[in-house]
């Protein structure tokens, strides 16, 4: 019997990943839940480059000439606006999804470098309040752990309407992470799979949100700014409604934004990328003529100083980072530090069916490097001082990269970066960012440009 030649022609529609998905769905009858953000290829800020100075523009001297990074948020209404040394803030991540040590490390680093950090679903822990000079307190649909005592300790309140990883969906915290402390803070039984609501319990639309924000202002005696966080979907409409509702700061989270745990179908198939979201959000503020009153924070896939610079040039007043923070603390690294000694964690990654660099198992509570866990032994793997030092270094590098690019564009203030400083490397990025395709003056979709 003669053998046919081996034919390995793979179907584009039903490739090995799709077949594996169908096999697993058929075998288990449940969908995938995972952490972090979208893994698919998306248009990103990498598709833009700066037109730094040459003969037509005058650059500032490298790391010597002053380049201002100070950032003030919520100054229009609040008696105590948020004042930051750098325009890079820490995104909301919950105690529950993260360990208490991790929250403390984040707070310490943010304080040292002069930026804000943010609570998350599950309330405010004493560790993060004490370690964070500037702490933004999230008001989420679940209201887990939300109370007036902590409202009055906050430096700003962020009303969360959505999240880039799962706009329109609520969070999930699986039972293995509902430790006695987490359960107590959330008023839930220990060990259950906890679902966070997807909409707020005491208002149902933007007209109600006006009144809700006013209530928060009354409770805080108009002292602190009120942020509104949105997952990037119908960006222009949503930003305008948030502003109309009274937001001092709009936080726009693109689809690359991370999560502690949600359905994979949400992460990969809902919302729009950060790149177009920035420009749409800025346009909404400009059309409402509130650019001087309302600040824009952008998040979702901001990884480097270049990303920060591009986001600011496209219209952000500041950015917010989450996944990068975790990675600075050792997420997806092969080792953790025990009193300065590096300890190999690849065996624990293997138990999760993964290797360092590929892990997204935040939902499991079995984080090999002790970040996204409530396990008493695992959480000891992140020493807050060690983590804070690494995170501070990362923030410092991002800020130096930001000012390097700003100076090269001739800006003495990072907030002076503008779309005119950028061109796009792909037609898609040019259309989304509304900057010309490199080497042309063509902005796809712009009137007169075809």
Partner 1 sequence: MASVGEEIILDLQKQSLREVNRSLHENSPSLAGQSIQILHPAGHHSVAAGVNVAAHIEVQGHVGYYAAGMTRQATITIDGNAGCGLAENMMSGQVRVKGNASTCAGATAHGGLLIIEGNAASRCGISLKGADIVVGGSVGHMSGFMAQAGRLVVCGDAGHGLGDSLYEAVIYVRGELYGLGADAQQQDMTDEDVAQLERLLAAAEFSHKPQEFKRIGSARTLYHWNPDADLEY
Question: Which of 147, 355, 393, 413: binder of partner 1 (CB under 8 A)?
Answer: 147
Cite the DSSP H helix spans in 51-159: 100-113, 126-131, 148-151
Among 5, 29, 448, 450, binds partner 1 (CB under 8 A): 29
Binds partner 1 (CB under 8 A): choice among 82, 93, 172, 402: 172
Residue 197 as a binder of partner 1 (CB under 8 A): the answer is yes
Q: How far is the CB of 149 from partner 1 (least distance, A)?
A: 8
CA distance 175 to 195: 10
Q: Name the residue with tokens 């490199």.
A: 438
Helices (H) and strands (E) in the chain, counts: 15, 18
Both tokens of 195, joined, read 């679902």
H/E stretch holding 394 reads helix 384-408
Check binding of 22 to partner 1 (CB under 8 A).
no
The phi and psi torsions of 171 (rounded to 5 degrees) equal -85, 170
Nearer to partner 1, 13 or 187 (CB): 187
* 3 touching partner 1, by CB under 8 A: no
Copy the structure tokens of residue 89: 């803030």
Residues 356 and 342: their CA atoms lie apart, in Å, by: 15
Candidate list 201, 340, 439, 450; residue touching partner 1; CB under 8 A: 201
Distance from chain centroid for Cα 83: 20
Residue from 215, 286, 344, 446 touching partner 1 (CB under 8 A): that is 215
Only segment of 187-195, 319-327, 350-358, 419-427 that touches partner 1 (CB under 8 A): 187-195
Q: Which of 187, 357, 441, 447 binds partner 1 (CB under 8 A)?
A: 187
User: Among candidates 262, 254, 325, which has minimal Cα distance to 42?
Assistant: 254
Q: Is 142 a binder of partner 1 (CB under 8 A)? A: yes
188 binds partner 1 (CB under 8 A): yes
Element (H, E) at 396: helix 384-408
Gap between the Cα atoms of 294 and 377, Å rounded: 44
Q: Which of 168, 203, 304, 442 binds partner 1 (CB under 8 A)?
A: 203
Least CB distance from residue 194 to partner 1, whole Å?
Answer: 9
Smallest gap from residue 213 Cβ to partner 1 (A): 10
Q: How far is the CB of 143 from partner 1 (least distance, A)?
A: 4
DSSP string covering 166-181: STT---EE-GGG--HH
* 267-276: burial string, b at 16+ Cβ within 10 Å, e else: bbebbbbbbb
User: Can residue 137 be called a binding residue for partner 1 (CB under 8 A)?
Assistant: no
Task: Please give the residue ranges that form the binding site for partner 1 (CB under 8 A).
Answer: 28-30, 33, 142-143, 146-149, 151, 172, 174-175, 186-189, 192-193, 195, 197, 201-204, 208, 211-212, 214-215, 218-222
């Amino acid at each position: 019997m003669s053998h046919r030649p081996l034919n390995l022609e793979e179907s584009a529609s039903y490739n090995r990943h799709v077949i594996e998905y169908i096999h697993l769905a058929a075998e288990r009858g449940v969908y995938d839940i995972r952490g972090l953000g979208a893994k698919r290829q998306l248009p990103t800020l990498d598709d833009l480059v700066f037109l730094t100075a040459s003969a037509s523009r005058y650059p500032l001297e490298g790391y010597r000439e002053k380049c201002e990074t100070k950032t003030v948020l919520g100054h229009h209404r609040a008696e105590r606006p948020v004042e930051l040394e750098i325009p890079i803030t820490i995104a909301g991540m919950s105690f529950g999804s993260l360990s208490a040590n991790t929250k403390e490390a984040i707070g310490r680093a943010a304080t040292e470098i002069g930026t804000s950090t943010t609570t998350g679903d599950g309330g405010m822990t004493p560790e993060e309040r004490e370690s964070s000079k500037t702490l933004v307190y999230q008001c989420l649909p679940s209201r887990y752990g939300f109370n007036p005592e902590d409202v009055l300790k906050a430096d700003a309140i962020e009303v969360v309407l959505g999240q880039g990883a799962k706009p329109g969906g609520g969070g999930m915290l699986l039972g293995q992470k509902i430790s006695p402390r987490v359960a107590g803070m959330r008023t839930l039984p220990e060990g259950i799979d906890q679902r966070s609501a997807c909409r707020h319990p005491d208002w149902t639309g933007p007209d109600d949100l006006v009144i809700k924000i006013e209530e928060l202002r009354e409770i805080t005696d108009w002292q602190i700014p009120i942020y509104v966080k949105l997952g990037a979907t119908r960006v222009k409409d949503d930003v305008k409604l948030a502003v109309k509702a009274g937001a001092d700061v709009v936080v726009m989270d693109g689809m690359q934004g991370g999560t502690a745990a949600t359905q994979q179908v949400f992460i990969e198939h809902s919302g729009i990328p950060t790149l177009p979201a920035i420009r749409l959000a800025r346009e909404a503020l400009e059309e409402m003529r509130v650019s001087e009153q309302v600040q824009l924070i952008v998040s979702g896939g901001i990884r480097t100083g270049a990303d920060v610079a591009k986001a600011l040039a496209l219209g952000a007043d500041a950015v917010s980072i989450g996944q990068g923070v975790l990675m600075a603390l050792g997420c997806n690294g092969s080792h953790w530090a025990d009193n300065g000694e590096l300890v190999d964690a690849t065996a624990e990654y293997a138990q999760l069916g993964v290797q360092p660099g590929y892990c997204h198992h935040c939902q499991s509570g079995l984080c090999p490097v002790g970040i996204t866990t409530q396990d008493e032994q695992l959480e000891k793997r992140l020493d807050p001082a060690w983590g804070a030092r690494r995170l501070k270094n990362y923030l410092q590098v991002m800020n130096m990269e930001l000012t390097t690019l700003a100076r090269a564009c001739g800006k003495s203030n990072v907030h002076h970066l503008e779309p005119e400083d950028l061109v796009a490397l792909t037609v898609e990025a040019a259309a989304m960012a509304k900057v010309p395709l490199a080497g042309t003056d063509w902005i796809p979709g712009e009137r007169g440009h075809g």
